[in-house]
Amino acid sequence: MPKYKYSLVACARWEADDIVEWIEYHRHIGFEHFYIYSNDDSPDVLFKTLLPYILGDDPIVTFTHWSKIGEQSEMYANFLGRHKTETQWAMFLDIDEFVTLRKHDTIMEFIDTFDATVDCIYFNWLNFGNNHKIHRDKKSILGTLTRRSVHIDPHTKTIFKTKKVTEALAREGAANTGYTYTHFWNDYPFGNFVIRDVLNRSVENYAKDFPDTAYRMIQDQNISNLMIETAHISHFVIKSEDDFIRRAERGGFVAQEIWRQKYISGEYKEMLARFNEIEDNYLSNIWHNMTLNRLAHGSRQVSTSALV
Look up the CATH number of the domain holding residue 248. 3.90.550
Check: CB of residue 272 under 8 Å from CB of residue 35.
no
Query: What per-residue confidence (pLDDT) applies to 259?
Result: 74
Helix axes 268-275, 257-265, angle to 10 degrees: 100
Angle at 233 between CA 232 and CA 239, to 5 degrees: 140
Q: Report the sign of the C-alpha dihedral through residues 12, 215, 180, 161, in that order.
A: positive
Gap between the Cα atoms of 11 and 70, Å rounded: 9
Query: What per-residue confidence (pLDDT) applies to 147?
Result: 98
Domain assignment of residue 19, given as a range: 4-307
Residue 153's CB is within 10 A of a number of other CB atoms, namely 21
Residue closest to 112 by CA, chosen among 88, 92, 93? 88
Check: CB of residue 203 under 8 Å from CB of residue 217.
yes
Check: CB of residue 69 under 8 Å from CB of residue 251.
yes
Check: CB of residue 268 under 8 Å from CB of residue 133.
no
Query: What per-residue confidence (pLDDT) applies to 307?
Result: 42
pLDDT tens track, the chain, 308 positions: 999 999 999 999 999 999 999 999 999 999 999 999 999 999 999 999 999 999 989 999 999 999 999 899 999 999 999 999 999 999 999 999 999 999 999 999 999 999 999 999 999 999 999 999 999 999 999 999 999 999 999 999 999 999 999 999 999 999 999 988 999 999 999 999 999 999 999 999 999 999 999 999 999 999 999 999 999 999 999 999 888 878 777 665 555 677 777 778 888 889 899 999 999 999 999 999 998 887 766 654 444 344 44
What number of helices (H) and strands (E) belong to the chain?
12, 11
Within 13 Å of residue 34, how many CA atoms lie on the same side as its CB? 29
Check: CB of residue 108 under 8 Å from CB of residue 32.
no
Query: What per-residue confidence (pLDDT) applies to 170?
Result: 97
Residue 260, SS3 per DSSP: helix
Query: What per-residue confidence (pLDDT) applies to 211?
Result: 95
Q: Domain count of the chain?
A: 1
Check: CB of residue 62 under 8 Å from CB of residue 37.
no
